[in-house]
Structure 1
Amino acid sequence: MYYWYFKLFNNIKSEHEATEFAKLELEGLFGKVAPIYNFFDKLKEEPLSMFTIPEIRIQDFITHELPYGKIQGYFGTSENISPLKKLVKRLAYTREIYLIGTKEDIPLIKNIFPNQALGKIYHFFEKENLVCFRFITYQYFLEKSEYISKLSRNEEEVDRNVEILFSHLIKNLHRIPASSTLSIGKRLEDYFAIREEPSLYITHYFHPYKGKFHPKMARALLNYIHPQEKGIVMDNFAGSGTLLVEASFMELDGVGVEINPLSVLMSNVKCNS
């Protein structure tokens, strides 16, 4: 039996997103899940409580930048870890995944993710024969990359700031700073810790477009209606191409239909950049 704990982002704008869209995409990609209203309660229950010992202190990671609102995450169980890669890559509203398995799963995880991902996308803690894996979803890096791109002046600074991000996630668990520290010229870690994340990432910000899909909402719906790894997504009213961009990010083929020439241009540029 595998135990899964899904920790939501702390920048979700409304309860509706947390209770509906976050749950929908998990049900599509994973299966039945139950809400976690307070992670502190889960930390008292086995098997998660086994990793709260002083030598590990999994609570420092789980309670770091907890989501606001009624629901902090979701919990589920499974007989295998087959959906893991899709979950890490495709989830839009989940920031971190905690998976409890056994030591026999370590080679399986290393086979799913390349060696360079260890200590960055994931790391793990051992207790007797059990192992608690902590995974950071791709969505987290997409959103944080906005700060790295704006605050880096050259390629060397990009590389250094990426390493700072990894350190912020795993080695240095900073608390959310006071608002006075969030001015230009402060530490990059302060930007990583703030609650208001960019709602637009990768190419979504290329052109303002009224009435566009919220990117995370579009991906959550895709995760629910099309959890398969391959397929074709068709948007009859493509607009600025939000759904098509998200489909390409999920490695799905996308087809858009749009009568507005400007929208066609935007969609092509955003999808092909």
Structure 2
Amino acid sequence: MLARIMGLMGRHPANAEPPPVVAVAKPIGSPGASKSLTETIEFFTPRLGLDVSAYIEAEQKQGIHHVGRYQWAVPVLAKRKPSRIVDLACGAGYGSYMLAQAMPESEVIGVDYDSRAVEYAKDNYKAPNLSYSVGNVVTWQSEDNPLPVCDAITSFDTIEHLLHRELALMRMADNLTDNGCLLLSTPCGHDVSKLNPGWEHHKLEFSHTDLYSFVSRFFERVIAPDDPRYENLEFWKGVVNRDKQRYLNKMNPLICEAPIRIKQRNGGEI
């Protein structure tokens, strides 16, 4: 099964080239992200294709992390047969494309605040069941409409960029179906949370214990790699980290199930 999926991931659109650094029209507001489109383009493009093996051979850490997470996610989600998947902070679109190719019966929606990333994704990673939208995870709003309710969400290395990450997790939980799941990663290898990380684009980097505590406020089941219920652990142990550690599976990535939703109150006036 793993070998078949890795073969599928090796397919790569021939026209996918690194994006030019250009400024285009501003997207919808991005509260919580505090980003400007005059900044250098931030999204990753997979120059060695969509199979993590190429990045392992080249010892290219960025590719191992970015491509590897989606490659791990494919069998985790495929067994659930989700009708709709929302890929938050989809960037160049390669991960959304990997999900769409592996699950042709599922609708996949790639969402990013950066209109340049969305345009690049639309041009380079296309599938009949795949669409892209400029959107905001904190407000759960796209350019014209709210983002949809879905059966699965992927959010890989997103929340560390947000000022209002608690609102983002609340929106994710509120917009998943009862049996839906969130696959989440964020830097959390620290023993103590870093409130002022060294990289300017990160607002916060959790400790592994704080991350578990935080996410558990929004999901009843938070399944980490050291949990016997964790799925597709063999990908990390037998492929990525087979001869040395290339990806730190310390509370990363998480499988989050049973979203906690609070019934909304109307009014409140006395």
What is the TM-score of this pair, normalised by structure 2? Answer: 0.27
* Larger relative contact order (CA 8 Å, sep ≥ 6): 1
- Higher alpha-carbon Rg: 1
What is the TM-score of this pair, normalised by structure 1? Answer: 0.27
